[in-house]
Chains A and B, each alone.
Chain A
Amino acid sequence: MPHKIIEKEELSGANKRFRIEAPLVAMSAKPGQFVIIRIDESGERIPLTIADSDEKTITLVFQEVGATTIRMGKMKAGDSLEDLVGPLGRPSEIENFGTVVCVAGGVGIAPMHPIAKALKSAGNKVISIIGARSKNLLFWEDKIRSVSGETIVMTDDGSHGRKGVVTILLKELLDKGGIDRVIAIGPPIMMKFCAATTLPYKVKTIVSLNPIMVDGTGMCGACRCLVGGKTKFACVDGPDFDAHQVDYDLLMARLKMYQEKEKQAMDASGNVPKKA
């Protein structure tokens, strides 16, 4: 069933935001869950995390990285996505843990927002670290601040906030002590290094994995990951997992499965990805 785009916003760089009419999904969506969308009859199914929701709409943030997301980026308010299914996946674990550090990189800032918000509501002290390569790729700093006790911004090139990668700051916080839990969402390499950073401190760390998906309901295993040596389907067993148990190298290798085909699709569409 088609779902109408109510609002479109260019956030930064190649990141765009849609607010979409989806009353059934909005009604039951919980932080950490995602949807699968299909643009039109010839489209593929891609997963996107629910970044916000109200009674009737959900918000999705996507980065233009390939044929489908570039095609989505050309859609306007008033257009409709042919299919949108969800909410999918297990919701993030939300409790009063004490002090939680939320580390979000790049487009991962969007899915972190509802989690940080829920953690704060549950009584946690939330410290957010948001990072990007450069200032012009950052978005939602205000939104993250509004749901965090403390927010630190970092850029690789130092064009905004502190200069450097997020793990530097994460380590500083861990050294000070008093951190009860860390949540990291972003590119796999960032999540891998966050996990490696927290491991010696024995602080429970959660990551939200982003493997290739097709149906998103557990019927195919395209999204399988190794967690604690066991094969898990991220769409039904996750997407959140214990960061210290995840095989990131496998995740990154599997994400490259269709590299050539993705390039072929892009060439066929005549689109060129923006430099993100």
Chain B
Amino acid sequence: MASKTKTPIPEQDAHARAKNFDEVALGYTEEQAVQEASRCIQCKTRPCAEGCPVGVLIPEFIKLIKERKFAEAAAKMKERISLTAVCGRVCPQEEQCEKVCTLRKLGDPVGIGRLERFIADWERAHGVRIPVPPKPNGRSAAIVGAGPAGLTCAGELAKIGYKVTIFESLHKPGGVLVYGIPEFRLPKAIVAAEVDYVRKLGVEIKTDVVVGRTITVDEILKNYDAVFLGTGAGLPQFMNIPGENLNGVYSANEFLTRVNLMKAYKFPEYDTPVNAGKRVVVIGGGNVAMDSARCALRLGAESTIVYRRSEEEMPARKEETHHAKEEGVKFELLAAPVQILGESGRVRGLECIRMKLGEQDTSGRRRPVPIPESNFTIECDAVIVAIGQTPNPLIPQTTPGLSIEPKHGTIIVNEALLTSRERIWAGGDATTGAATVISAMGAGRNAAREIDKFLRG
């Protein structure tokens, strides 16, 4: 009889890890992985594979782990997804594959995410097998943006013989995987290895190219059969409350870019500075807010999250909220910012108002309502605004005829992910607004299929 509980994953001690940027979860040993894989009952209905946005062959790779055929298990996962080490770490499995696992009727679901991660790490440690490049099929595709959507789309097209070029605006490929998600959740060396795998599939990555400025989509179309826009949702939203331009107020994008991409946590060994101060307040309740609060903590600050609803409504992964609490992040729930207070141009505090939950809104969540005269102040040196991002308008502005949804600025696509322009497809956060890494990978994969179907006629 299989154990009702997941095999625990070793983690760095909460007290120690709150002071470093090393990965929190340490991963399974071979024995632990085999033990966990043995819990899978190989049910015929395979709801887990159905629940995966990219359709990873979950029961198959788990069976191979159980049989200790680790290399074969890795190859089985790579059949459906290029960036295996990434999805094992940042996928919200509790909402997807693990949510529908048959074992949940008896106890914990199989630790699918932990097994994915184990197998990707095992493969990296033992040398990644690169598939033999296919014969060029004479067709070409340009990908705009080297985030999860673009890298996946590029990898899938390269595997079937396309000549693929990715154009990336930053100096490193990876999108949110390099500038957004911190080192302690997703080590950058792992992202680099995953990107390297995509390169070895034959994909050329041109960094430091801002499409819409350095070159336009229409100029690219002259030299490629198809274009895929995977430009994400990188435009930060501010609250438009007084004090938002004081020194010490960051968008989460700026704070995380400084810390993760520019390695400001290693200042002055690295040149980019960041000012966390002694006390940081992060506004928002999503994964970006958790990441910001946990980075601030590691920079030596006391870190508090201010969220206008209750913990139940928080969009962040339960695991991340749990980790944040363990590390000592404070939570000020049912509180909304009113203004940022300053002194000689610098942040000195955040004035909030208490909220209570009212009627359900259109999203089905109870709407927060301010309680009159309940204002209070949290003293702090820095405020990080993590209330969401929308797509950057640069490409729509410079690509005539590309339709966008006027309210959120997302690129409009049909069911085949085709935009309003011929030969231009789009997917990921650029079309949905900020969502998950795995849904972006799913869109990249689907777009590759649609592009190929269209070009083969």
**Count the A residues whose beta carbon is within 8 Å of the partner chain — how many?**
42
* Closest chain A residue to B266, Cβ basis: A42
Inter-subunit contact B271/A217 (CB<8 Å)? no
Inter-subunit contact A221/B236 (CB<8 Å)? yes
Please provide the chain B residues from 249 to 272 with a CB less than 8 Å away from any CB of chain A in the complex.
250-251, 253-254, 257-258, 262-263, 267-272
Inter-subunit contact B213/A28 (CB<8 Å)? yes
Interface-centre pick from B215, B257, B268 (highest chain A CB count, 10 A) = B268
Residues from chain B with a CB closer than 8 A to the CB of A224 are 245
Q: Is B403 an interface residue (CB 8 A)?
A: no
Bound-state CA distance A1–B168 (Å) is 11
Bound-state CA distance A233–B55 (Å) is 40
Interface-centre pick from A28, A85, A253 (highest chain B CB count, 10 A) = A85
Interface string of A204-215 (1 = CB under 8 A from B): 000000000011
B64 to chain A, nearest CB (A): 38
Q: Is B171 an interface residue (CB 8 A)?
A: yes
Interface-centre pick from B207, B213, B236, B247 (highest chain A CB count, 10 A) = B213
Inter-subunit contact B244/A217 (CB<8 Å)? no
Chain A residues with a Cβ under 8 A of chain B = 1, 24-25, 28, 38, 42-45, 67-68, 82-88, 214-215, 217-222, 224, 226, 231, 236, 250, 253-254, 256-258, 261-262, 264-265, 268-269
Q: Is B95 an interface residue (CB 8 A)?
A: no
Task: Select A43's contact among B215, B253, B271, B275, beta carbons within 8 Å.
Answer: B271
* Closest chain A residue to B274, Cβ basis: A261
B205 to chain A, nearest CB (A): 10
Q: Is B434 an interface residue (CB 8 A)?
A: no
Residues from chain A with a CB closer than 8 A to the CB of B208 are 1, 83-85
- In addition to A83-B208, A218-B394, A219-B235, 5 A-B residue pairs with Cβ atoms within 8 Å of each other are A44-B271, A215-B257, A219-B257, A254-B247, A262-B273
Inter-subunit contact A265/B213 (CB<8 Å)? no
Residues from chain B with a CB closer than 8 A to the CB of A258 are 273, 275
Residues from chain B with a CB closer than 8 A to the CB of A219 are 234-236, 253, 257, 392
Residues from chain A with a CB closer than 8 A to the CB of B213 are 28, 86-88, 217
Inter-subunit contact B271/A221 (CB<8 Å)? no
Residues from chain B with a CB closer than 8 A to the CB of A215 are 169-170, 257
Bound-state CA distance A83–B247 (Å) is 28
Inter-subunit contact A88/B210 (CB<8 Å)? yes
A18 to chain B, nearest CB (A): 17
Bound-state CA distance A1–B208 (Å) is 7
Q: Is B124 an interface residue (CB 8 A)?
A: no
Interface-centre pick from B251, B271, B275 (highest chain A CB count, 10 A) = B271
Residues from chain B with a CB closer than 8 A to the CB of A86 are 210, 213-214
Inter-subunit contact B238/A265 (CB<8 Å)? no
Residues from chain A with a CB closer than 8 A to the CB of B247 are 253-254, 256-257
Residues from chain A with a CB closer than 8 A to the CB of B254 are 214, 220-222
Please provide the chain B residues from 274 to 290 with a CB less than 8 Å away from any CB of chain A in the complex.
275
A213 to chain B, nearest CB (A): 10
State the majority secondary structure of interface residues on A.
mixed
State the majority secondary structure of interface residues on B.
loop
Inter-subunit contact A265/B271 (CB<8 Å)? yes
Q: Is B206 an interface residue (CB 8 A)?
A: yes
Residues from chain A with a CB closer than 8 A to the CB of B345 are 253-254, 256
Q: Is B209 an interface residue (CB 8 A)?
A: yes
Bound-state CA distance A224–B237 (Å) is 12
Inter-subunit contact B271/A24 (CB<8 Å)? no
Interface string of B199-220 (1 = CB under 8 A from A): 0000000111110011100000
Q: List 30 A–B pairs whose Cβ atoms lie within 8 Å, in order of A's numbering.
A: A1-B206, A24-B214, A24-B215, A42-B263, A44-B273, A45-B262, A84-B208, A85-B208, A86-B213, A214-B257, A214-B258, A214-B262, A214-B272, A218-B234, A218-B235, A220-B253, A220-B257, A221-B236, A221-B238, A222-B250, A222-B254, A226-B245, A231-B238, A254-B245, A257-B247, A258-B275, A261-B267, A262-B273, A264-B273, A265-B267
Inter-subunit contact A231/B275 (CB<8 Å)? no
Inter-subunit contact A236/B253 (CB<8 Å)? no
A62 to chain B, nearest CB (A): 15
Chain B residues with a Cβ under 8 A of chain A = 169-171, 206-210, 213-215, 234-236, 238, 240, 244-245, 247-248, 250-251, 253-254, 257-258, 262-263, 267-273, 275, 345, 392-394
Task: Select A217's contact among B169, B206, B215, B240, beta carbons within 8 Å.
Answer: B169
* Closest chain A residue to B255, Cβ basis: A220
Bound-state CA distance A262–B268 (Å) is 9
Inter-subunit contact B275/A85 (CB<8 Å)? no
Inter-subunit contact B271/A68 (CB<8 Å)? yes
Inter-subunit contact A87/B273 (CB<8 Å)? no
Task: Select B214's contact among A44, A83, A85, A268, beta carbons within 8 Å.
Answer: A85
Bound-state CA distance A254–B247 (Å) is 6
* Closest chain A residue to B212, Cβ basis: A217
Inter-subunit contact A231/B245 (CB<8 Å)? yes
Bound-state CA distance A261–B268 (Å) is 8
Task: Select A261's contact among B215, B253, B273, B393, beta carbons within 8 Å.
Answer: B273
Inter-subunit contact B253/A221 (CB<8 Å)? yes
Bound-state CA distance A268–B394 (Å) is 38
Inter-subunit contact B251/A265 (CB<8 Å)? no
Bound-state CA distance A183–B115 (Å) is 62
Residues from chain A with a CB closer than 8 A to the CB of B263 are 42
Inter-subunit contact B210/A67 (CB<8 Å)? no
A55 to chain B, nearest CB (A): 16
Task: Select B245's contact among A28, A42, A43, A250, beta carbons within 8 Å.
Answer: A250
Residues from chain A with a CB closer than 8 A to the CB of B209 are 24, 85
Bound-state CA distance A37–B281 (Å) is 31
Residues from chain A with a CB closer than 8 A to the CB of B210 are 85-86, 88, 217
B236 to chain A, nearest CB (A): 5
Residues from chain A with a CB closer than 8 A to the CB of B248 are 257
* Closest chain A residue to B263, Cβ basis: A42
Bound-state CA distance A82–B171 (Å) is 9
Residues from chain B with a CB closer than 8 A to the CB of A253 are 247, 345
A235 to chain B, nearest CB (A): 10
Inter-subunit contact A28/B258 (CB<8 Å)? no
B257 to chain A, nearest CB (A): 6
Residues from chain A with a CB closer than 8 A to the CB of B267 are 261, 264-265
Task: Select B251's contact among A82, A85, A220, A262, beta carbons within 8 Å.
Answer: A220
Residues from chain A with a CB closer than 8 A to the CB of B206 are 1
Residues from chain A with a CB closer than 8 A to the CB of B244 are 231
Bound-state CA distance A84–B236 (Å) is 24
B283 to chain A, nearest CB (A): 14
